[in-house]
A and B are shown apart, each in its own frame.
Chain A
C-alpha cells in the first residue's frame, strides 16, 4: 500500500465537509478529499478540488471532462509523479501509466521496447524472450517484432505501448487518452482489444478521455469531472452487458445523457 500523506501546511481554508471514511481496504485506488493547487496565494490554480473517488479492484473507470478538469493531474497523483496538496491518495499495488503518444523508444525494435521494459524491472534474460513473445501475442503484433516504431501505424504503436505497459505487471493501469490521436476505425478495434485484455488480466483500469462514447463503451463507471476547479460532477454506472459496441443504441443513449450533463458544465463557464 503506497499512500501519499499530505502536508498540513495549506493556504486554503480546509474543507468544512466532515472527513470521509478512508478508503476501505477493498479499494484499488482511493482518493479522499484530494485537492491539488498549483502556484501560491494570489495566482493559485485549483487543478483538483476535494475529489473523493474510490475504484474497486478489477474495475474499469473512465474519467471524463472538458479541458482543464485536471484529468492528467489525477493520473499523475496515482502514478506517484506528483503529490496532492491536501487529502490522501491511496493506491493498492503498483501502477503503470500509458500516454496519448506511444512514447516508444525510436532506436529500439518492437521487441526491444518491450524487452527493455522487462530489463528495467530486472527480469532475468532467460525469461525475457518468452515474456516478450507472450506480450506481443496479447496485442497481436508478434510478426512485427523486428520493426521499428516509425515503421508502424499510430494504432500499432499504441498496441506496442500497451504491451510495454502490461509488461510491468502492475495491478493498476492508468491510461491518459491513449486512443485520442487515432482514427475512428482503429480506435473501435482497439476498444475491443482493450476490453478483451482487461477481461483476461483482471487489472484495474483508470482511463482518461474526453470522448463520451468511448467512456461509455469501455467503463464500468464513468466519472464526470468539472473544470477549473476539477470536481466530481456526477458518476454514471454503466450496466450495458459486454462485449459492447460503440455504435449500439444502449451506448448511444447513455452517451447522450452524459453529454447533456457535460454541456451543462461547460455552459456554466461561458456564463461566468
Chain B
C-alpha cells in the first residue's frame, strides 16, 4: 500500500514550527482577568450584611420604643442580647444536642435520599413508579408526620429522626435525579466512547457531572431537615435533654421572653451560617467547573 509514500513524516523542523505557532496562540488565549485581593473580597461580601443587621436591629428597637407592646412581652435588642450572654451555657448545651441531631438526621437523609435518587435516575421502571411519589412526599409539611411518628416511636429521638429524614430525603433524592437528568448528553457520550460502564460510569462521569446542580437539592434538603427538627423539638419534649426547640418552649412557659428571643436569634444565626457554607461550596464548585463568567463577577 503506497498511501504513505508522499508523507513527509513529522520532521523536526515542522514539529518545531507547529510548536512555536501553537505556543504563540496559546499565550494570546491565556490572559485571565486578575482576581481582587482576598481582603477586598471579604470586605465586599461583609459590609452589606453588617448594614442589613444594623437596619434590622434599628427597626426592632423603634418598634419597642413605640410602646406597641409592654417591654416584658416584646423586649428590645439590649435585654435579649444580655439574656443570650447570661444563659450562654444553657443555650450552648441545647445547641450541641440540636446540632448533633441535625447532622445525624441529615446524614441519614443523605444516604437514603442519595440511594433512592441514584436508583430512580438509572431505572426507567423506578422512575415511572416512584418518581412522582417522591415529589408528593416533598410537598407534605413535615409536621403532618408527627402524630404517626409518635405512635411508632413514642416521644423519643427516634420520632424526631423519622420526621427529619422524611422531610429531607425527598428533596435530596429529587435534587440528585434532577442533577443527573441535566447532564450534558455529550459528556455521557464521551464517557461511553472512553469505555466507562456501570459503576465506573457513575463514579467517574455521572456523579461529578451532576454535582453542580445537585448542590441545590442538598441545600434544600438541609433546610427541610432543620425545620422538621425544630418542629419536632417543640413537640417531643420528653427526652429530658436540653435542646434549642425545648428552650423555646421552656422560656415561653416561664414567661422569659428575652430568653425566648435569644434562642430565636441563635436559630437564625445558624441558618445564616449553614446557608453561607452551602453558598461557598456552590461557588467553589461552579468556579471549578467554569460555570462562573468572569465578566459578570
Chain A residues within CB distance 8 Å of chain B:
26, 56-59, 79, 81, 96-97, 99, 101, 103-108, 116-117, 119-121, 140-141, 144, 148-153, 155-156, 159, 164, 168, 185-186, 189, 192-193, 196-197, 199-200, 202, 220, 239, 241-243
Contacts and interface: CB of A to CB of B under 8 A. Distances in A.
Contacts of A117: 194
A163 to B, nearest CB: 13
Interface in B188-225: 189-190, 192-196, 200, 204-205, 208-209, 211
A103 B187 CA distance: 6
A242 B19 contact: no
28 contacts: A57-B1, A99-B190, A103-B190, A107-B208, A116-B194, A120-B195, A120-B204, A121-B194, A121-B195, A140-B19, A140-B22, A141-B26, A144-B26, A144-B30, A148-B288, A148-B289, A150-B289, A150-B290, A151-B32, A192-B17, A196-B10, A196-B15, A197-B10, A220-B3, A241-B8, A242-B6, A242-B7, A242-B8
Contacts of B1: 26, 56-58
Question: Looking at chain B's contact residues, is the secondary structure mostly helix, strand, loop, or mixed?
Answer: helix
Interface string B17-40: 111011101100110100000000
Contact of A105 (B9, B193, B208, B291): B208
A152 B29 contact: yes
B187 A243 contact: no
A235 B204 CA distance: 42
B283 to A, nearest CB: 15
Given A196-B15, A196-B18, A79 B193 contact: yes
A205 to B, nearest CB: 11
Instruction: Specify which of A103, A149, A202, A242 lies most central, judged by the most chain B CB atoms within 10 Å of its CB.
Output: A103
Interface of B: 1, 3-4, 6-10, 14-15, 17-19, 21-23, 25-26, 29-30, 32, 186-187, 189-190, 192-196, 200, 204-205, 208-209, 211, 288-291
Contacts of B21: 189, 192
Given A81-B189, A105-B187, A116-B194, 12 more contacts: A26-B1, A81-B193, A99-B189, A99-B190, A101-B186, A120-B194, A120-B204, A156-B26, A159-B22, A164-B194, A189-B18, A189-B25
B187 A107 contact: no
Contacts of B18: 140, 189, 192-193, 196
A185 B26 CA distance: 12
B194 A106 contact: no
Contacts, number: 113
Contacts of A99: 186, 189-190
Contacts of A140: 18-19, 22-23
A189 B29 CA distance: 15
B3 to A, nearest CB: 5
A130 B187 CA distance: 26
A239 B7 CA distance: 11
Contacts of A103: 186-187, 189-190
Contacts of A164: 194
B137 to A, nearest CB: 31
A186 to B, nearest CB: 6
B6 A189 contact: no
Contact of B196 (A96, A108, A120, A155): A120
Contact of A97 (B14, B193, B200): B193
Contacts of B186: 99, 101, 103
Contacts of A108: 208
A116 B203 CA distance: 11
B7 A156 contact: no
A120 to B, nearest CB: 5
A149 to B, nearest CB: 7
Contacts of A104: 190
B290 A151 contact: yes
